[in-house]
Amino acid sequence: MALIVQKFGGSSVADAAKIRNVANIITRTYDAGNDVVVVLSAQGDTTDDLIEKANEINPNGSKREMDVLLSTGEQISIALAAMCIEKMGYPVISLTGWQVGMETSSDYSRARIRKVEGSRIRKELDKHRIVLVAGFQGINRYGDITTLGRGGSDTTAVALAVALKADLCQIYTDVDGVYTADPRLVPTAKKLDAITYDEMLELASLGAQVLHNRSVELAKRYQIELEVLSSFTGNPGTIVKEVVKMEKTFISGVAQDKKIARVVLVGLEDVPGMAYRVFSLLAKAKINVDVILQSIGRNNTKDITFTIPEGSKDLCQQILEENQETLRYHSMNVSTDVAKVSIVGAGMAENTGIAAAMFEALYNNQINIHMISTSEIKVSVLIDKADSEKAMRAIHDKFFD
Amino acid sequence: MALIVQKFGGSSVADAAKIRNVANIITRTYDAGNDVVVVLSAQGDTTDDLIEKANEINPNGSKREMDVLLSTGEQISIALAAMCIEKMGYPVISLTGWQVGMETSSDYSRARIRKVEGSRIRKELDKHRIVLVAGFQGINRYGDITTLGRGGSDTTAVALAVALKADLCQIYTDVDGVYTADPRLVPTAKKLDAITYDEMLELASLGAQVLHNRSVELAKRYQIELEVLSSFTGNPGTIVKEVVKMEKTFISGVAQDKKIARVVLVGLEDVPGMAYRVFSLLAKAKINVDVILQSIGRNNTKDITFTIPEGSKDLCQQILEENQETLRYHSMNVSTDVAKVSIVGAGMAENTGIAAAMFEALYNNQINIHMISTSEIKVSVLIDKADSEKAMRAIHDKFFD
């Protein structure tokens, strides 16, 4: 007998039929002799509807009151799912964030979990009940309702798995698991049986948003085994854990990110501290800088090229223009006509030739590389946005065919 | 400076515009230098929508889970209203039932308030904040969410007024106050400036549902002054308190109840204990018996006539048929073609002639009286349903013109 935490997202509980489907999965897990704790998100569009109601009244309402408002969405889901499971004749109970002692920081709308008190859940499991917990929400030291922000329900599930020492944390979603590439773009993409925490983190940061990084980081820290799987197909999913038995390929996935902008500062004075000055200005404005490339200077000047999220483009440009005098660069060039394509794999470090094989695939398809960036388990290239899908398929076929 | 508890029902917070109207009333009360605690119901149809969602999944879901579900409605109202008041620049905070320590019995869906802990509200009032409280909900000794059932938010408001020793409890609704008769039926009906708790209780039980009896009983027990008033007109309402200065009329209202059935048991054996047997059977089935009339017997038999709520008719009939052998009555006659019309007034007891004046009004309009029932502050007559409105107007004109 194992203790299993399961999490179902908003699309998995969007209507009565989908809630019945989720109830079937939960009760099958219970019938197999497991203790089952389930985390649910708000139904489909509930959160958006509530935000719309709030905006109509006050688009700048306090985050505290937004959290009071939004936390009702998950509470509705757990009550409805509990009634569905009751109808099937199983013992079940629903619990809110404050009822399970999900203690968080006071940062309304993006609270961090501090501690899961958890005694109430244990008491209910001792009574052999299926326990449904409202995701995304907690309670701070003042007894006020908080919400966890993006990826909140995934994080709730992993935090409960940690607190209850669960054997497995299953994250149910609308895809079958983690793929070697986005199946909508690369028809030959294959589902991975397993992937390491680090690979998952790299893939998530590259735009393959199956799991939110916060939950993966938490699982990695406490070595909670995750499984990403579909609530619709019933197929086995992808296991995320510390060490994965090496398979014959050395990379676990190809991902792209098209929502980026490339900034080039031309003709910066070639003196020490120039890069520091540029990037500390951007850091102060909370602009995430990704790939950075600094050219070798000539005529006592050098160029710095870097990428940022597309949404930060205008702010970045404004900051750099305001500081042109102190930074003393000649000109600035900003383009959103680029994409980043990356390969990720824990086996990469011990294998030379992975990066070269990637470049070869791009060369064979006449795709020009603007920038290259590498880490222990990742190689990223910056290319023209128009080439992105072609590049994905070319690289994928090179490694997985 | 006074402490005022205000309660707004679901129709008063149905949409953004109505919430703004409510926020205006609240902030005006605050600007007048009062401490303000506000109880809100769920928006318009929210509760019905949630019940529909539940029914689609499980029409027999447990009451515990229904309470988890339904309590979200009031939570949404307080968050939205708080954001509206924030926008107007006032200090405000919303609190749920568990946050204000609204401790109740464990009877899910119809919990009784046991105690209001209240320290959180006092703390917020000390910070000069307007406090918005979710009505209708509480928490039981197990830390589970409960709801108070019908009239719940009125009861929440009065219970808070008791716990906080409020100077006044204002119940905002969609009518201007308590009238001498239903203004839709009796165009000459007048609004009362004041009415006693007992009169209000009698009127409510007679179908003039402005305030729920639970909240009036609680207010009477702790001598909390109530005011019933409209959230739309801004007119002064009706004060409900222990003693009301006698006005020139001795009755405070005329009410009717058309949802009743009359049952006649003909030819019961004229032996002791027969009435006891009949009514203990009905009590066991939780059928509320109202007016009872027992004829003088002849030929060693007697007839018993009584009224019950229309909805209990079939059950009552079934029970009496099943027991015809032991009760040994000759025949049973059940009719829903009747209505009860009543006058209520605390001044009635010291004034003879009130009942006679009522009967005179009916006689002058050729309305036949089937049964009569009187109490200290009430006279009720049973008449044909078709005569009900005519009787209301005739009686009203007799006393108030």
pLDDT at A285: 86
Read off the pLDDT of each residue in B369-378 and give the average, rounded to a whole number: 82
Residues in B touching A50 (Cβ below 8 Å): 76
Residues in B touching A19 (Cβ below 8 Å): 57
pLDDT at B226: 96
Residue in chain A nearest B96 by alpha carbon: A68
Residues in B touching A66 (Cβ below 8 Å): 79, 83
CA distance B359 to A379: 97
Is the pLDDT at B247 greater than 70? The verdict is no
The highest-confidence range among A240-254, A368-382, B300-314, B346-360, by mean pLDDT, is: B300-314
Q: Are the CB atoms for A96 and A137 separated by under 8 Å?
A: yes
Closest CA of chain A from B143, distance in Å: 7
* Nearest CB to A72; choose among B20, B75, B86: B75
Closest CA of chain B from A65, distance in Å: 5
* Nearest CB to B54; choose among A60, A83, A120: A83
Task: Give the residue ranges of the annotated binding site of B for substrate.
Answer: 47, 74
In the chain, the amino acid numbered B316 is: C
Closest CA of chain B from A102, distance in Å: 14
Determine the residue among A26, A68, A75 to mutate to test chain B binding: the one whose Cβ has the most chain B Cβ atoms within 10 Å. Answer: A68
Q: Are the CB atoms for B224 and B166 separated by under 8 Å?
A: yes
Read off the pLDDT of each residue in B128-138 and give the average, rounded to a whole number: 97
Residues in A touching B96 (Cβ below 8 Å): 68, 145
Read off the pLDDT of each residue in A316-333 and give the average, rounded to a whole number: 90
Residues in B touching A75 (Cβ below 8 Å): 68-69, 71-72, 75
Q: Answer whether A61 sits within 8 Å of B83, measured CB to CB.
A: yes
Q: Are the CB atoms for B10 and B44 separated by under 8 Å?
A: yes
Residues in A touching B56 (Cβ below 8 Å): 16
Closest CA of chain A from B207, distance in Å: 34
A272-295 pLDDT, tens digit per residue, is 778 888 888 888 888 888 888 777
Closest CA of chain A from B119, distance in Å: 12
pLDDT at B248: 53
**Confidence tier at B288 by pLDDT (50, 70, 90):** confident
pLDDT at A249: 60
Read off the pLDDT of each residue in A76-97 and give the average, rounded to a whole number: 98
For the entire predicted model, the pTM comes to: 0.81
Cβ neighbours of residue A8 closer than 8 Å, sequence gap 6 or more? A22, A38, A39, A40, A41, A172, A231
B350-B355-B361-B363 Cα dihedral, nearest 10 degrees: -150
More confident residue, B132 or A254: B132
Q: Are the CB atoms for B195 and B244 separated by under 8 Å?
A: yes
Is the pLDDT at A331 greater than 60? The verdict is yes
pLDDT at A252: 84
CA distance B139 to B147: 8
Q: Which tokens sit at B143? A: 């830390």
Angstrom CA distances, B34 to A215, A331, B2, B31, B57, stand at 47, 62, 5, 7, 46
Q: Are the CB atoms for A252 and A300 separated by under 8 Å?
A: no
* Nearest CB to A80; choose among B69, B94, B143: B69
* Nearest CB to A75; choose among B57, B61, B68: B68
CA distance A126 to A135: 22
Q: Which residues of B touch A (CB under 8 A)?
A: 16, 19-20, 50, 53-54, 56-58, 60-62, 64-66, 68-69, 71-72, 75-76, 78-80, 82-84, 86-87, 93-94, 96, 98-99, 120, 143-145
Is the pLDDT at B317 greater than 90? The verdict is yes
Is the pLDDT at B249 greater than 70? The verdict is no
Cβ neighbours of residue A231 closer than 8 Å, sequence gap 6 or more? A8, A12, A18, A21, A22, A25, A172, A173, A174
pLDDT at A401: 72
Look-up of token digits 């009360």: B29
Q: A50-59, A95-104, A175-184: which has the minimum mean pLDDT?
A: A175-184
**DSSP states of B373-401:** EEETTEEEEEEEGGGHHHHHHHHHHHHH-
Determine the residue among B68, B136, B144 to mutate to test chain A binding: the one whose Cβ has the most chain A Cβ atoms within 10 Å. Answer: B68
Closest CA of chain A from B191, distance in Å: 34
Read off the pLDDT of each residue in B276-291 and give the average, rounded to a whole number: 85
Residue in chain B nearest A19 by alpha carbon: B57
Determine the residue among B20, B58, B66 to mutate to test chain A binding: the one whose Cβ has the most chain A Cβ atoms within 10 Å. Answer: B58
Is the pLDDT at B160 greater than 70? The verdict is yes
Angle at CA of residue A105, ends A100 and A107, nearest 5°: 120
Q: Are the CB atoms for B251 and B376 separated by under 8 Å?
A: no
A159-179 pLDDT, tens digit per residue, is 999 999 999 999 998 888 998
pLDDT at B67: 97
Closest CA of chain B from A398, distance in Å: 49
Residues in A touching B66 (Cβ below 8 Å): 79, 83
CA distance B106 to B143: 10
The conformation of residue B366, written as its DSSP 8-state character, comes to T
Is the pLDDT at B176 greater than 60? The verdict is yes
Residues in A touching B19 (Cβ below 8 Å): 57
Read off the pLDDT of each residue in B22-40 and give the average, rounded to a whole number: 97
Q: Answer whether B20 sits within 8 Å of A69, measured CB to CB.
A: no
pLDDT at B356: 82
How many Cβ atoms sit within 10 Å of the Cβ of residue A64?
A: 22
The highest-confidence range among A235-249, B88-102, B259-273, by mean pLDDT, is: B88-102
Is the pLDDT at B330 greater than 70? The verdict is yes
A91-121 pLDDT, tens digit per residue, is 999 999 999 999 999 999 999 999 999 899 9
Q: Answer whether A87 sits within 8 Å of B61, measured CB to CB.
A: yes
Q: Answer whether B82 sits within 8 Å of A61, measured CB to CB.
A: yes
Spell out a b/e string for B247-272, using b for 16 or more CB atoms within 10 Å of the CB, else e: eeebbbbbbbbeebbbbbbebbeeee
- Tell me the residue length of chain A: 401
* Nearest CB to A72; choose among B19, B76, B86: B76
The highest-confidence range among A350-359, B36-45, B374-383, by mean pLDDT, is: B36-45
Average pLDDT over chain A, rounded to an integer: 90
Q: Answer whether B83 sits within 8 Å of A54, measured CB to CB.
A: yes
pLDDT at A50: 95
Residues in B touching A72 (Cβ below 8 Å): 72, 75-76
- The angle, 0 to 180 degrees and rounded to 10, between the axes of the packed helices A197-205 and A213-222 is 170
Q: Answer whether B68 sits within 8 Å of A94, measured CB to CB.
A: yes
Q: Answer whether A144 sits within 8 Å of B99, measured CB to CB.
A: yes
**Confidence tier at A248 by pLDDT (50, 70, 90):** low
* Nearest CB to B16; choose among A57, A79, A93: A57
Q: Answer whether B57 sits within 8 Å of A87, measured CB to CB.
A: yes
Closest CA of chain A from B96, distance in Å: 9
More confident residue, B369 or A126: A126
For A87, half-sphere exposure in the C-beta direction (CA atoms, 13 angstrom radius) is 19
Three-state DSSP string of chain A: CCEEEEEECHHHHCCHHHHHHHHHHHHHHHHCCCEEEEEECCCCCHHHHHHHHHHHHCCCCCHHHHHHHHHHHHHHHHHHHHHHHHHCCCCEEEECCCCCCEEECCCCCCCCEEEECCHHHHHHHHCCCEEEEECCEEECCCCCEEECCCCHHHHHHHHHHHHCCCCEEEEEECCCCCECCCCCCCCCCCECCEEEHHHHHHHHHCCCCCCCHHHHHHHHHHCCCEEEEECCCCCCCEEEECCCCCCCCCCCEEEEECCEEEEEEEEEECCCCHHHHHHHHHHHCCCCCCCEEECCCECCEEEEEEEEEHHHHHHHHHHHHHCHHHHCCCEEEEECCEEEEEEECHHHCCCCCHHHHHHHHHHHCCCCCCEEEEECCEEEEEEEHHHHHHHHHHHHHHHHC
